[in-house]
Structure 1
Amino acid sequence: MNNTAAPGPVKTPGLSIPRYTSEQLFAGARELIIQHAGAEYRLRLTSQGKLILTK
């Protein structure tokens, strides 16, 4: 059976902080842009599976 996760935050009982998997954020890409307070930040997934956030 193919069980795919629905998009959106993962619900964690007892916690009110939304939680997303990196797979949900990247959606198959290796890089994404986060806009915050008028600035753009680049979040990259390295070949070793680590995350790098740069302004």
Structure 2
Amino acid sequence: MPDVLPLRQPTAPRSSHALTPTPAAGSPAPSPASDTPRLSSAQLFGQGSEVHIEHGDALYRLRITSLGKLILTK
């Protein structure tokens, strides 16, 4: 299993129900906030296809499917 990467804690509380609207077809995607960390899946997974993420007292499993999609399960 790959080493656990330290993640930066958010500086302001976030709403758990906040949704970002999907841009209309042909519209440019909104650019991410400059202070938001951005990681590639290669950085997270390395040569593997699964990582475990500790969040509070829960352990989550993030994996890449055979179709290249990401699945997060508890």
TM tier relative to shorter chain: 0.7 to 0.9
TM-score (norm 1): 0.73
Aligned length, in residue pairs = 42
Greater radius of gyration (CA): 2
Q: Which has the higher strand share?
A: 1
Moved over 6 A (4+): none
Residues of 2 paired with 1:34 and 1:27: CA distance?
15
Q: Which runs of 5+ in 1 are unaligned?
A: 1-13
Q: Which runs of 5+ in 2 are unaligned?
A: 1-32
1:26 partnered with 2:45:
yes
Matching of residues 6-45 of structure 1 within 5 Å: 15-45=34-64
Over aligned residue pairs, what C-alpha RMSD do you find?
Answer: 1.0
Aligned to 2:69: 50
